[in-house]
């Protein structure tokens, strides 16, 4: 089952998306965008940048939980992952974004 981008409107009227794997688990959450077009550009950026390992910034939260962010070529953060219990879990998450991101379909849930 292919991945999907769920494009949504936040409670504050901004736009964001979640990339979900084929099993419907959220694997990447975007930043908030002022416009729907901005969020759509973010989705396009995930599709472009997801396959490249150099675009992933592996990080550790204050509680030592591993997580990652996906960055565009200009260094801007496109989205970030959940907190993982292990580094191997985080690496599996990155692999899932690489696999699902480029070909994921977009579900527009804004209306």
* DSSP line for 52-110: -GGGEEEEE-TTS-EEEEEE-TTS-EEEE----SSHHHHHHHHHHHHHHTTT-EEEE--
**pLDDT band for position 93 (50/70/90)?**
very high
**pLDDT band for position 101 (50/70/90)?**
very high
Q: What is the pTM of this model?
A: 0.94
- State the average pLDDT over residues 6-13: 93
Long-range contacts of 70-76 (CB under 8 A, 24+ apart): 70/28, 70/46, 70/97, 72/45, 73/49
Domains of the chain: 4-108 (2.30.29.80)
14 three-class SS: coil
């Amino acid at each position: 089952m292919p991945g999907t981008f769920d494009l949504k409107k936040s409670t504050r009227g901004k736009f964001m998306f979640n990339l979900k794997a084929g099993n419907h688990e959220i694997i990447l959450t975007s930043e908030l965008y002022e416009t729907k077009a901005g969020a759509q550009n973010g989705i396009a950026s995930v599709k472009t940048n997801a396959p490249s390992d150099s675009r992933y910034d592996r990080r550790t939260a204050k509680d030592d939980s591993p997580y990652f962010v996906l960055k565009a070529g200009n260094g801007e953060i496109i989205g970030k992952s959940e907190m993982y219990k292990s580094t191997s879990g985080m690496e599996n998450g990155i692999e899932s974004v690489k696999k699902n991101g480029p070909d994921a379909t977009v579900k527009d849930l804004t209306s």
